[in-house]
Chains A and B, each alone.
Chain A
Amino acid sequence: MNMLKTMKKSTRSNLITYGIVVLFYLVMQLLASGGVLSNSMQGMLVPICTYVVLAVSLNLTVGILGELSLGHAGFMSVGAFSGAVYWMIAGQNLPSVLGLAIAMLIGGVMAGVFGFLIGIPVLRLRGDYLAIVTLAFGEIIKNILNAIYLGWDSNGFHFSMKDATALNMGEDGKVIINGAIGISGMTKASSFTAGIILVLITLFVVLNLINSRAGRAIMSIRDNRIAAEATGINVTKYKLMAFITSAFLAGMAGVLYALNMSALAAKKFDYNTSILVLVFVVLGGIGNIRGSVIAAAVLYVLPELLRGLNDYRMLIYAVILIVMMIFNQSAQVVAWRHQVWEKLSTIGLFQKLAQAKKQNKGEA
């Protein structure tokens, strides 16, 4: 307990975040082994992990770096497709843990490369250019992946933008990416444990980056670019560092997502998915990593819990989002919350004081 008190405030806060994730894992495992966890909840565990990783990584760009990115699903899809292609060709034959780890690494690196390519020209600019470019990137990637036909046989890769018959493959060839249908017939590899490990890795990377020298440089750029430049901080370098890390983690999340399902189509990675992740970040609190973790988990599960309401489901979900946003962010409501909080604590204080007086009298 003493150790907890003497600890740095940020370290304690980080430990609480890790603690929430580990506790969540343990509770879910316990419930699952007890057989009380519903199929519906079990099916959502891996997607929850995916969206938590996505939200945390996007928060690095939006909250810590202070640049708006509207194409997070684009990085996710680059990771998902490159990881899944590797999985179809080689990963399936390896032990599933090793195969998954390599696929994630490949997915992450590919997404990171794209992050680098986009970041180099755009992050040199001032203003909201990143939002526009990432928005375009997400759409471009989706449309390209929709048109790609990729096959694999003993001679290597065959590639076409026309149709599957144009691949001209040998007899042992198999079509891996089949245009708009995408990849189908994958064996599943993602597990809840793998998902939680990825969440912990993501938190470790992001939280340590924030509390490091580089992280302070990144935040100083966010807060005042001119002052940061004046103190000799290489603005482009640190911006790139945050952005590429964010893309890399999104790519890994994409692989986790892809290998949780037996089919993968580019259609999923559209503007709506990017916005969904941004919603998690905004409602969890911009720059608040723990908030992203919790918001992603709660908001992903919410529509499924509302299934009982049938047709009113999406309506209620939207209303809940609006109410949450007002409760968290509206200045008046925040002021009102402070008032109530103070009132409650003063009432509590008065009661304590009154009790203490009574006791004193009694003793006297």
Chain B
Amino acid sequence: MKKAMSLVLAAAMAFSFAACGGASGTSGAASTASGTAIKIGGIGPLTGGAAIYGNAVKNGAALAVEEINAQGGLQFELNFQDDENDPEKALNAYNNLKDWGMQALLGTVTTQPCLTVAPETAADNMFLLTPSASAVDVIKEDNAFQVCFTDPNQGVASADYIAENGLATKIAIIYDSSDAYSSGIHDKFKEEAATKGLEIVADEAFTADNKTDFSVQVQKAKSSGAELVFLPIYYSEANLIIQEMNKQGCTASIFGCDGLDGLLTIEGADTSLFEGVMLLTPFAADAQDEKTQSFVSKYEEKYGETPNQFAADAYDGVYTILAACEKGGVTADMDASAVCDALKTAMTQITVDGLTGEGMKWEATGEVNKAPRAVKIQNGAYTAM
């Protein structure tokens, strides 16, 4: 019986590899046959805990691609793959996109997978523009560029903003020490806070395994007499912390970074608790400029929800690739390496007016130059401060 089973399994294995080979053959054929559209790959978490970011990026990018294709001129084709926020899966997704014939990569969405994929793209000379992976190491290679701010920048900018606007002098921090994004911002914030004369009265950490009960951290923040709680974390934990603060009657104001974006989209949460939460994000859905309004209305019409900053980053990312392609004279029949060389030089020469910033420019290091903006939640919507 065992023999029979192993035979079946062996057959299944042989079949699966045969299927693999077949798939690669067809995709190779497709990449040479089409050639009218530039193939942009996307990688991000479409399932799992960080799915809201991946889906936002996917939708935002798809919207931009649709618009660009409708305009005529350069045509784009988008293929977005799931990585479950896992570096290993991201690498698989990247290889999968290479088989598809990807010419430029918009991704990855989250930091940890991007740290793994970025060196791969450098080895393959594949252009990489990440909408939202914010660690500095992500853009270490010269083929990698960011639409969002780096973690240290966010930490420094947060501290500066709090100090300059006199929001508070006694600050408590609650952060996720097991997360690269959160601890990256935390470290820089602490450094900058010291030079700006802000006093850190409580510095409490939690880890990814221990993020359902925040009563201890909130208790300490409360008893330390903090006027402001800084939350450089993602929105789902922030939701729990804010609820706990409400329960314990802690009235300190709340300040966060772009990870807090998404608070208002949590299903079933009591959004009245989020009133007055401030966050540093380059995008506010209710901004009055024409560009934002048209983006938001199109997005709402198509996907039935208000776009967050990640969708806007992705939207800008696609337009950035378009601008760079036009500048660098990239056409759809060039191979990925030639596209990368052209885009690398073009990126430092272009200026993009996007949703997440006017006059975005890029350094050769891959870092973006744009002004950070802070928004406040008022009446259940983001309002520019």
Contact = CB atoms under 8 A, between A and B. Distances in A.
B136 to A, nearest CB: 10
Contact of B87 (A268, A337, A338): A268
A267 B178 contact: yes
A146 B178 contact: yes
Contact of A304 (B6, B25, B92, B191): B92
Lowest 9 A-B CB distances belong to which pairs? A38-B24, A43-B95, A262-B119, A263-B115, A39-B98, A181-B180, A39-B95, A40-B95, A146-B178
A268 B191 CA distance: 29
B356 to A, nearest CB: 25
A265 B20 CA distance: 29
Contacts, number: 148
Interface in A37-66: 37-44, 47
Interface string A100-135: 000000000000000000000000000000000000
Please classify how large the interface on chain A is, using the bins under 10, 10 to 19, 20 to 34, 35 or more: 35 or more
Contact of B207 (A37, A143, A301, A334): A143
Contacts of A20: 10
B9 interface: yes
Interface stretch (B11-19, B255-263, B319-327): B11-19
A14 interface: no
A31 B180 CA distance: 39
B146 interface: no
B119 A263 contact: yes
23 contacts: A36-B21, A38-B21, A40-B20, A43-B94, A44-B92, A47-B92, A142-B209, A181-B112, A181-B135, A181-B180, A182-B180, A185-B119, A265-B87, A265-B115, A265-B180, A266-B178, A270-B209, A285-B2, A291-B9, A298-B12, A305-B19, A305-B23, A311-B47
Given A43-B92, A146-B207, A267 B112 contact: yes
Given A179-B183, A180-B179, A298-B12, A47 B88 contact: yes
Contacts of A26: none
A311 B99 CA distance: 20
B271 interface: no
A298 B88 contact: no
B171 to A, nearest CB: 17
B142 interface: no
Contact of B5 (A139, A304, A328): A328
Contact of A305 (B16, B140, B179, B191): B16
Given A263-B115, A302-B16, A31 B88 contact: no
